[in-house]
Structures are given as structure tokens and as C-alpha cells.
Amino acid sequence: MRRIHLLATGGTIASRRGPDGLASVTRAVDLLAAAGTPDGLAVTTSDVGTVGSFALSTADLLRLVAEVHRALGPGVDGVVVTHGTDTMEESVFLADLVHDDPRPVVFTGAQRPFDSPAPDGPANLAAALRVAASPAARDAGVLLCFDGLAFAARGVRKVETLRSGAFAAPGRGPVLRVTGDELTALARPVRGAPLPLDLDGDLPRVDVVPLYLGADDVLLRAAAGAGAAGVVLQAFGAGNATPAVAAAVGELVAGGIPVLVCSRVPAGPVAPLYTGGGGADLARAGAVFAGDLSPWQARLLLAAALAVAPRDPLPTVTGHLAPRSPHERGVQA
């Protein structure tokens, strides 16, 4: 008998319709009752909160990660977290950055509410419980399980607003497939060393600045003026900007504000290729290229690195931007 602990935080999986719209009001014990307990498992439950993930702050996220650590007590074989889908890709990534335990932690949720005529939450939760109990998920870090697939934390993205297949890992693919009671291993995540992050308090402010046709440096300078300790550029293509932004990046970096470069394109890495305001100029200005991380995950990586090493966060960042192995790219195991 394997023991799994279920932490509920709210989200669509816990939502019911009311006069003002959907509200996350369903408790963990009721979520488990709807999903059923898979054979061979004993599941305990607790509630961290009942909110939509769009309402979470980074301080809330740190408290959730601390709760996950506490839930991995003696005799517990894994933890499942139910969570809203809007920011799940961020929460699962930060949880993975600090996860230093071989036991699995699995996030899941739903696209349709608890009181829907055809809710998807019960099946997602049942699958996540199976993944959390499986030896195949051990030492894989924190995973996101949805619609019959489990994804590594790094690289997972919400790709559909309403459809049940809400998540994908562009350029990477899933690491496990869940078919009924059976799990199939597809790949093995490659993870950096866990960060010794203090989970009390909050993270330094890091802003994401989007690039668009004709963008000037106003938003970038506004982020710095508002107190951002670091900035992530959601750049064009393979990591390009406008000449005005490239020049401003040099000033920010010279002033001690690190800048990471990501792409607004869903799949593929960034690289310093072009001049005239492009990635080559950003690299010369001191920006760091964040591989194929999304801007949202890169933001949390930079914020965590700043918290761990405020004077020189870039070695910590680059240590988590190592080249991917073939298995991490989704090659059949």
C-alpha cells in the first residue's frame, strides 16, 4: 500500500458555478471522492486554499512549495497538488527548482469545473495519483499531469484556453503517458541542482517586457524605474529586439540589473545571431540567453537566482540553462 498526500489549492478543478461566475469552493476530500482512490493507494488530504491560480502571488507560491515539503513527511511516497491551470506552469517550475527529494510531486487540475456535466478533473486527479505512486516518476522532480500525459516542469506550457488537452511541452514532449492503470515512460527529465531558496517571505521583483513591432525602450526603463531587480525580454524570433531596446539593455546590465532573453515563439531556443538590434547586440550588451525557457519560467528562475545570490545571480541562472539531453527532448526511452 503506497501512501500519497493530496494538497488542494483551488482552481477550475474545484470550481462550481454561482451567480457571479465560477468560484473555487470544493475541498480536497470532495475532489478525491469524485476521482476515486486508485487500487493499492492510501490517500490523505489537506487544503492550502481555494482560489483561482490567477489570484496567486509569488509569496503564495513560496508558501505552497513549503507546504509540499512539509507534506513529504515520513511514510509518504508522493504528493499531488491540485491547482488552477492559468499559472500552473509557473508553480510547477518553481517547485521543481527547489525540489531535493526523490519522491514525486505531481501537479494537476481541470479545464471544466467540478459541477460540469462532464468534468475532466476526476480523471486528471486519478491519473496524477497513479503517477505520484509510480516508481517511474521517482527522481523525475516535479511533474505536471494532464489529459493522460505527464510533463517535466521545465518547458511545460498551457497551450489551450479551454480544450481538455491544455498543456504541452513544445520541442520536448511528455515524459510519461497514463493509460488507465498503466504508465508508459517516454523520456527522463534532466534537472539542475536544487536551489537553496528560503521559502519564507517573497522573491525579488522580476518583470517580463514584451517585444512587438516598433517597440521602444519605455517599458524596459519603466520596469527598472519601478524597482525590478531583473528583467526578462519576451523577444522576437530567436532572441531579437529593436535597436532602442538593445541599447537600453546595455545600460540596465551596466547598472547591475540582469537581463534574460526568451522568445515570444512557443518552441525553439534563443541564440545571439543578428546585429542591428538583434540577439548579437543583446549578447554584447550583457544579456543572457535562456535557451527554450518560456518568459514566465525564466522570470521565476531569475527571481530565485537573485534570492539565492543577489550580488551575482548569473552563475546560478546559467547552471540551470545547460543543453538538453536526447531524453529530455522527448526521445523514446
Positions marked active-site: 12
The C-alpha cell that represents 85 in the structure block: 491551470
Burial of 256 (0-12, 13-18, 19+ CB in 10 A): exposed
In this structure, what C-alpha cell is assigned to residue 280? 548579437
Neighbours of 102 (CB within 10 A): 11
Percent composition of the chain: helix, strand, coil (DSSP 3-state, to 5) = 30, 25, 45
Q: Half-sphere exposure of residue 253, counting CA atoms within 13 Å on the CB side?
A: 20
Three cell numbers written together for 151: 510533463
Beta bridge partners of 81: 7, 107
Region for 256 from its dihedrals, namely left if φ exceeds 0, alpha if ψ lies in -120 to 50, beta otherwise: left
Cell numbers linked to 52: 483561482
d(CA 3, CA 23): 30
- Of 61, 78, 80, nearest to 144 by C-alpha is 80
What is d(CA 122, CA 116) in angstroms, rounded to the nearest whole number? 11
Task: Give the type of residue at 252.
Answer: L
> Could you tell me the sign of the dihedral formed by the alpha carbons of 325, 330, 332, 333, in that order?
positive
Q: Please provide the size of the chain in residues.
A: 333
